[in-house]
Structure 1
């Protein structure tokens, strides 16, 4: 157990020390950033499918999974303690009518633990980024830069959850999450000296608008899982999660800085800064929209599974008065995920690769963001493997995802992205009663 905990801590430190911004998407400018809390590497490798639950993997999306059934290996008398840590690398090609650029980001994704409490209860807690902001956008007229927009930060989430097995087939769970973090952004409108017959020259001093929002608030997530053998070999699994609408408090600051810009490197040097009174906008409440996810699938336990999941999020209720534009609107978001896994022989002693779990899936998502009357959609395909490591049931999960987000219509940006994800899913047996003294 000590070795496994040390391994988790080393992985956390390595991921966090290497991580920079959690995203490099220009669409993270809108709202409170790009959504990061989309599940574990196992979920994401199956197209984002989160309805499948078992006794050896943590499910970050459905708290009912904490009350997983006992393992036959443990004579139906015990469940393992499950803990996991994950991180990811993203590389994107941004394409617009004016050109294209390559961006990348590396981030820590989650740290979570789930443990049994008695016969029918399960408990879970964890820490993960909920949204991420990271962008640098520049507008040009000819060779002259006109505007520069930058943003960083995001919202993190710490949660506690409890699951309960109502029957052998049905479980219920509830998560309570504390959301916290900050978002910082800046905007510069460049001013030039126009001299007839010569190239435009930047004036010595430019003005930069700085905004910062410190965010905090609670929300709840409710989940149900159902599983039942419908034939001797086939099992039906279904899941439902519902997150009611909640609010998150935003304490806002705005200032203006006089800056000098290095003409070669573009680096900004602050000369002086003064704060601006925001009056009624100094403290605002942002709405976190309600979310419903429902799905089901069939499979052979410990062998294969295939499922479908639909999500609906009431993002039309969202607004951010501090960062808003006339060309932006929020509409209700929706998504569809299709995926599954296959394990040739989880109990094979002759072949390691037969014990490997192979995952694949695809998804389509209306993000709920509408810019210049163009809805921003996202599509992706994912693949992954679960590699057995260490002791019984522990594994390293690798996942890859390719897809696209956005459009080039109305001079918007199309993102072609590649994501690589890695996680450790470790299991051990605690609270075991000794048979002999």
Structure 2
């Protein structure tokens, strides 16, 4: 009875946090990276905290006590007369460094946001339903740049003005909602289908302020604002097959295919002079040709009473479906002759390849004497490429993960999960191209709540006595 009260209180608390979490998705900076200046920003790692702490593996994971948001075929293993609920939050520390004109500049920023709200429940024998609400991508950056002109001999017009200060700022998110079913069509073979809905708003602003080279002259700032409003559907198919299954071990092979889809965001652009009246110079509304990629993911997952380990490979064809190109701002570089030259880079979409590895160790989940032996210890590695190129150069990115799952009571699947992720981006080309080398640390906590036979807590069983 106590467990049921605890689950109920946590569920109510999570429900109360949903409106605030959704508001945070479009009103606060949930990422801090200059790479989010383009497209829909930084893609978030999908899955609940137990799978994210294992490097993000899970395409083939099949466990009746752990939610799997990566493959809808896993919904079919949800036990009868049970409910799984998951809620997670995470905080991040971003550390960015860039070397320009022989000097290294560094910035740091902290963010905090919810990561997922999800549940699974059975519809019939070997037929389950799953729902999840997660952030798909985040935009957050603040960049300031001073453009200096030497004098009339360099530019007869701008030379009379002097320094021009540019400020770029952006924030916003794209949220993903999944609703799907999984069905074990024949023994050891399950299939699943999911409908995904994406929505969100991204705001980008730039401010250009001339500053007089001499005297007390003042110049009005020119301000540009872009709002991207997103609303789109797509779908996903999944399959899982138990290649080996007995009392001691389980080997599962899985695969998913995402159809992709046109985001086609509505873009409202305006440019105005920052004077007393904020005089509008230009304003229009268009649609941006932006497409979510088709995705193919395959994986293998092996489980025993103590060990679980998996490997996933994920391919996304961002480049094949997005032909639009943007350009970075200018970056000062020192030429071989010692002079300073300004360079910009073309930003284009590219296909991505990602490999994920993960392992979990639980010494003895049924040990009645040693509480720490019932904990689950997780470790993972993820390595891949970023979905955009800069000057034709790919950006590598990698992450190392670690986490623990602490059961709330003896023989329980319900747990409190904690996780840490350390990652890097752009380390392969940052020094050579003068781009930002990014590092981050994520701290996460999640609640996995299971009501069912494992703790004699049935939520949907009619009582025998009133």
**TM-score in terms of structure 2 length:** 0.82
Give a deviation string over 1:114-153, Cα, whole Å, max 9, x none. 1001102101112111111111112235896732111111
Distance 1:417 1:410 in 2: 21
Q: Does 1:355 align with 2:363?
A: no
Distance 1:390 1:144 in 2: 65
Shift in alpha-carbon separation, 1:161–1:324, aligned structure 2, 3 A: farther
| Partner of residue 68, structure 2 | 59
Distance 2:393 2:437 in 1: 12
| Partner of residue 292, structure 1 | 296
Which SS does the other structure have where 1:348 is aligned? coil
1:95-106 equivalent positions in 2, closer than 5 A: 95-98=97-100, 99-106=105-112
| Partner of residue 155, structure 1 | 174
Distance 2:434 2:163 in 1: 18
Shift in alpha-carbon separation, 1:382–1:426, aligned structure 2, 3 A: same
**TM-score in terms of structure 1 length:** 0.87
Pairs aligned (count): 414
Which SS does the other structure have where 2:372 is aligned? coil
| Partner of residue 403, structure 2 | 384
Give a deviation string over 1:96-115, Cα, whole Å, max 9, x none. 01411111211111111110
| Partner of residue 125, structure 1 | 131
Deviation at 1:172, TM superposition (A): 0.8
Is the CA contact 1:374–1:409 (under 8 Å) kept in the aligned structure 2?
Answer: no
Is the CA contact 2:324–2:348 (under 8 Å) kept in the aligned structure 1?
Answer: no
1:21-420 equivalent positions in 2, closer than 5 A: 21-51=29-59, 52-68=61-77, 70=79, 78=80, 80-98=82-100, 99-140=105-146, 146-195=165-214, 203-229=218-244, 233-259=248-274, 271-274=277-280, 276-278=282-284, 282-300=286-304, 302-319=305-322, 327-389=346-408, 392-406=412-426, 407-420=430-443
Give a deviation string over 1:244-296, Cα, whole Å, max 9, x none. 12112311111123337xxxxxxxxx851527344xx6134421110111010
Distance 2:175 2:307 in 1: 34
**Structure 1 runs, 4 residues or longer, greater than 4 Å off:** 11-19, 141-145, 320-326, 433-437
Is the CA contact 2:289–2:324 (under 8 Å) kept in the aligned structure 1?
Answer: no
Distance 1:114 1:147 in 2: 49
- 143-152 or 108-117, which deviates more: 143-152
Report which of the two structures shows the higher radius of gyration computed on alpha carbons.
Answer: 2
- 3-12 or 128-137, which deviates more: 3-12
Distance 1:41 1:275 in 2: 48
Gaps of 5+ in 1: 71-77, 261-269
Distance 1:369 1:211 in 2: 20
Deviation at 1:324, TM superposition (A): 5.9
Shift in alpha-carbon separation, 1:27–1:13, aligned structure 2, 3 A: farther
Deviation at 1:80, TM superposition (A): 2.4
Aligned-pair RMSD on alpha carbons? 2.6
- 323-332 or 337-346, which deviates more: 323-332
Is the CA contact 2:209–2:220 (under 8 Å) kept in the aligned structure 1?
Answer: no
Is the CA contact 1:153–1:181 (under 8 Å) kept in the aligned structure 2?
Answer: yes
Distance 1:225 1:112 in 2: 21
Distance 1:433 1:161 in 2: 27
Which SS does the other structure have where 2:47 is aligned? coil
Is the CA contact 1:191–1:202 (under 8 Å) kept in the aligned structure 2?
Answer: no
Give a deviation string over 1:361-381, Cα, whole Å, max 9, x none. 101011221012221221111
